[in-house]
Amino acid sequence: MTADERHLTRDDAAYVARLARIALTEEELDRYAAQLATVLAHAAQVAALDTEGVAPTAHPLPLRNVTRPDEPRPSLDRDEVLAQAPAVEDRRFKVPRILGDAL
Amino acid sequence: MSEGWEPVIGLEVHCELKTQTKLFCGCRNAFGDEPNTNVCPVCLGLPGSLPVLNARAVEYAMRIGIALHCEIRPSLFHRKNYFYPDMPKDYQVSQYDAPINVGGWLELPDGSRVGIERAHMEEDTGKTSHMGGGGRIHDAEHALVDYNRAGVPLVEIVSAPDIRSSAQARLYASELRAILVATGASDGRMEEGSMRVDANVSVRRAGTAELGTRCEIKNLNSLRSLGRAIEFEIERQVTLLESGGVVVQQTRHWNEDAGETVALRSKEEAFDYRYFPEPDLVPVVPDAGWQAEVAASLGPMPADRRARLAALLGPAPATDARTGQIATVVELELDGLVVAAATAGADAGLALARAANEAAADADAARRLDPAAFTSLIRMEEQGAVSATQAKAVLADMLDAGGDPAEIARRKGFEALEESSLAAVVAEVVAAHPDEWERYRSGTEDKLVGFFTGQVMRATQNRANGKAVAEELRRLRG
Amino acid sequence: MSRPAPALDIARSVRDGSVPAADVVERFLTAIDATDPELHAFLTVLHDAARAAAAVVDATVDAGGDPGPLAGVPVAVKDNLCTRGIPTTCSSRILDGWCPPYDATVVERLRAAGAVVIGKTNLDEFAMGSSTENSAFGPTRNPHDPARVPGGSSGGSAAAVAAGLAPLALGSDTGGSIRQPAALCGVVGMKPTYGTVSRYGLVAFASSLDQVGPITSTVTESAALFDVIGGQDPLDSTCLERPSPRSVAALSDGVDGLRIGVPAELVDDVDPAVAARVREAADALAGAGATVEECSVPELRHGLPAYYLLAPAEASSNLARYDGVRYGLRVEADTVEAMNAATRAAGFGPEVKRRIMLGTYALSAGYYDAYYGQAQKVRTLIVEALAAAYQRFDALLGATTPTTAFAIGAKVDDPWAMYLSDVCTVPSNLAGHPAISVPFGRDDGGLPVGVQVLAPALGEPVMFRVAAVLEDAAPVPVPPRVHAP
């Protein structure tokens, strides 16, 4: 399906909300899906443009090879870092149990 | 495994680079420090932080690419978007469709080649510990995260699916580790996690070209696990297919204790990582000059060192035994000894044999041997100043406590038997065993040379030179 | 002839010892305390820290040292710029109470120049918006009419300068977020060439579009502040080597002989009053010796749709880190996945959620090529079209935004109507070019109008020259209804 034929459905909205880890109520899902479909209809105007042979611009600058030397710099004080953490145990960040798998 | 099936295996190896600092910030790249002490706004992904690329990490990535005969290309970083607590930004900065190294190969000690599809740069994640429930992920109550490792530079090396057995997979992993160590870019310690191997395994009917559905096997912490896991997985897939089932594409976790792979999650479809070019970093374009500089800084790779030894042995094709000795000597880093001896004019084959068979017994000590002393010993044996048995004894002493071989031989009372004495002893032994002599003399039992040589050795307390004895026997026979 | 520059006057007086920095700071703190309760330009006012900083400046002056070019000058800093030990909320509940352990590079440079950070200003949450109504902590009011919006997302900074609560302010501009509020509040707002000002410490919205820039009452102060904050930063890979700081020196060079283009796309679809001011501005430039010509750059019309695919896409990735694990709000749950989802649901406002979802969609498998990929190509078309225009012209002139300040609440229910505010400003972000909004008259209701000068990359010197002439030619401004006593 091309962008022209596709509208953002409620299922699409639910899918992206899951992908983006945002819990939405049913009412929010309805409302956002409708608003997003309208915005997308406008924004998708770009799909109709002829960009044959045009390279994408990922960076507005002609910079290349920006690097730094492999030299240590001071790290943060651990207490300062952990002081702002929502939950800490044994000098590490504590989170509830993890259902899914790592990369 | 049942007949008629061919395993198809590809390996993905993540290796940590031995830089001083992380990929995008100046925090120390160190193993084993107190949790969350090597962190900063960048590697914690604090709001407003930005990455800046470590030049040495690029150099090391290039070294690996060159060592694997890859083409070095202009490359981009991409974001791989995924939520997980050990990922501070909830995306990983990696390389996607424009990696730095593509299209290389790796030569195994037996001469066969495995293709390398790509070797790209990416950042490592933090470390998650699952608490409660015996440390197993699925029974855990909560988790704790340490970000010291977050941002450590990695190179991910993806092989072509050219591997056809678990043994070959182990050889590949072992050779790759040796190469990584030889480049200086990584220390290749699987048990410590600085080299992590995942295996992609599928099977197909022998003689067909289409690839079967593959499974990715993770949690392989040693070469042995790698081999066992692949064996299990091949068997599992073949059994499944032969009973009419279908292999589901999924990630499987190797359980060392149970000796089996277990499905982590059933992925009917690939996860949507929404890759897009990393806007906070600019392209990496290593020009010819930089590439040449890096190439020039590389020492010889294991394959080069094996080739050098083979060349020293002469033009005749190597026997299996020789090939094995060469592989052993290079693996144990004793080739320097052999090269020194051969270059000084001593017998290369003998030097190789002594290094592979005797010196290898204590490889650490052998690496500390003085090459000149080793060369001297080889010469002594070659010229008959000591017998083979005596030479081995001297070498054992040198491994233990160093020293000069001639000194040690003198101290041990090893003197070669003079030729005239040798003739007398041989004559005595021959006279003492007329039956055997008759059988030998009739020309039908050349193996009796071994019998007579053994008798001569006993009579001379191992001071005789085996070759000289054989020559004397032949001379007597006429 | 020296150009007006109240902030630089302050600095001069502090540097020569005739006015203590302490007095300056006290004056502005008093103004803020009196006026801001109605305006709500500030989220945090740094009474103690500002006084302490002023004391240091005064001590330096007393000891005969050099306190810096902006000595004693109070600066209001948008609350998406990190200030060490000071709450930096991005006007979001998800960062409520979070204090960064480090200063943004631009904040360090302000401090090194002797400036005094007097407070953190209100913005649309995570810089997403054109009215400052998307702040989790309530909107800022337009000093010219408190029933109207100040624009956004840097509404707090623009209102603070317009109301005389700080002589200088920093904002950030991703699609017009400095220039549009400057226009609506009747002050000068400038977006630098992408890469001339460090983004280290600017909480990212859309990384390839964001830039920090000055909001000031005059063009001279804008150039001076740009010179202070700009320049290469080893902590930002996308930051260029510093171009020569000729901005202030060249300001009075005039526009004689310069070629100015007025693209129809920046005038045709705007309110009549705004269009009229733009034409008057064009006439003023012609009168000052420039060659002014109407032109057309059709690709500029594609800027808004491309922007509303690219910016949300980058934002969806930049805002993923707000997951309740390491800092900020956490809503507890049984699993980390549920905790993430509940935290983000509670912590983000509706506009942020919409943009994250839109951006996630634009990047998702199957849609990347049609949406994100295509938008990146449209970006190239715009860059090339502007490059062609700059073969004929030294600078371009147009409206900053289609309307003057609208009523609070007027556009909150219609996202695309709100997004249309950005139609004249997004092309400069997409191209990475500099642009400045200069107050130029008002509409029939007395509300300020801003006109925009656009220049090619690193064209700040030309841009400032044109802006200076416009400032001189502008009708006398009407003071805002809400202003510091």
Q: Cα–Cα–Cα angle for A42, A44, A50, nearest 5°?
A: 125
Query: Per-residue pLDDT for B203 more than 50?
Result: yes
pLDDT higher than 50, residue B267? no
Q: How far apart are CA C232 and CA C241, in angstroms?
A: 5
Chain B residues with CB-CB distance to C100 below 8 A: 41, 46-48
Interface size B-C, in CB pairs within 8 Å, comes to 93
Q: Any CB–CB contact under 8 A between B269 and chain C? A: no
Lowest mean pLDDT among B16-25, B408-417, C345-354: B408-417
Residues on C contacting B at a C-beta cutoff of 8 Å: 81-82, 88, 90, 95, 98, 100-102, 104, 199-204, 206-208, 234-238, 313-314, 316-317, 320-321, 323, 325-327, 336-337, 340, 360, 363-365, 368, 372
Which has more confidence, B1 or C6?
C6
* Secondary structure E strands in C210-331: 211-216, 259-263, 291-295
**Which of A61-75, B395-409, B432-446, C196-210 is predicted with the least confidence, judged by mean pLDDT?**
B432-446
- Cβ under 8 Å to A: C residues 225-264: 234, 237-238, 240
Q: Using alpha carbons, select from B327, B416, B414, B408 the residue that is nearest to residue B374.
A: B408
C421 classed as catalytic: no
Q: Residue C69 in contact with residue C224, Cβ under 8 Å? A: yes
Q: What is the pLDDT of residues C29-43, one digit of tens each?
A: 999 999 999 999 999
Decide if pLDDT at A103 tops 70: no
Q: Please give the structure tokens belonging to residue C36.
A: 């801001």
What integer pLDDT is reported at residue B387 of this predicted model? 86
Q: What is the CA radius of gyration of chain A?
A: 22
The pLDDT score that the predictor gives to residue B265 is: 62
Q: Is the pLDDT of residue A1 over 50?
A: no
pLDDT at B440 over 90: no
Cβ neighbour number for residue B3 with a 10 Å cutoff: 6
Lowest mean pLDDT among B133-142, B273-282, C161-170, C230-239: B133-142
Supply the DSSP symbol for C482. S
Would the CB atoms of C320 and B81 count as touching at under 8 Å? yes
Is the model's pLDDT at C249 over the cut of 80? no
Please tell me the predicted confidence (pLDDT) of residue C248: 78
Residue B418: the pLDDT is 66
Min distance B145 CA to chain A CA atoms (Å): 5
Q: How high does pLDDT run on average in chain C? A: 96
Q: Give the per-residue pLDDT at A2.
A: 40
Q: Residue A94: which of B28, B84, B142 has the nearest Cβ?
A: B142
Q: Average pLDDT for residues C450-465, to the nearest whole number?
A: 96
Contact C199, C234 (CB under 8 A): no
What pLDDT is stored for residue C1 in this prediction? Answer: 44
In this complex, is the C-beta atom of C208 within 8 Å of any C-beta atom belonging to chain A? yes
What is d(CA C76, CA C41) in angstroms, rounded to the nearest whole number? 9
Answer for the pair B249, B215: CB distance below 8 angstroms, yes or no: yes
Structure ipTM: 0.96
Residues of chain A found within 8 Å of residue C237, distances taken between Cβ atoms: 63, 66
- Looking at per-residue pLDDT, the higher value among C265 and A60 belongs to C265
C57-74 pLDDT tens trace: 999 999 999 999 999 999
pLDDT surpasses 60 at B137: yes
- Note the Cα C340 to chain centre separation in Å: 31
Which of the two residues, C188 and A59, has the higher pLDDT score?
C188
Residue B468 has pLDDT above 90, yes or no: no
pLDDT level of residue A102 (50, 70, 90 thresholds): low
Q: A1-10, B323-332, C158-167, C240-249 — which is least confidently predicted?
A: A1-10
- Whole-number pLDDT of residue B317: 82
Q: CB neighbours of C369 closer than 8 A, spacing ≥ 6?
A: none
pLDDT per residue as tens digits for the range B415-427: 766 666 788 888 8
Report the C-alpha gap between C17 and C13 in whole angstroms: 6
Active-site residue, C411 included: no
Q: For residue C310, is pLDDT > 70?
A: yes
Cβ contacts of A19 on chain C, cutoff 8 Å: 360, 364
* Least confident range of B257-261, B339-343, B450-454: B450-454
d(CA B421, CA B385): 14
pLDDT mean across residues, chain B: 92
Instruction: Return the partners of chain C (3 or more C-beta pairs < 8 Å).
Output: A, B
Instruction: Average the pLDDT over A78-94 and give the result.
Output: 96
Read off the DSSP letter of residue C202.
B
The whole-number average pLDDT for the span B159-171 is 97
B276 — contact with chain C (CB < 8 Å)? yes
Interface touch B51/C320, C-beta < 8 Å? no
Q: Is C177 a catalytic residue?
A: yes
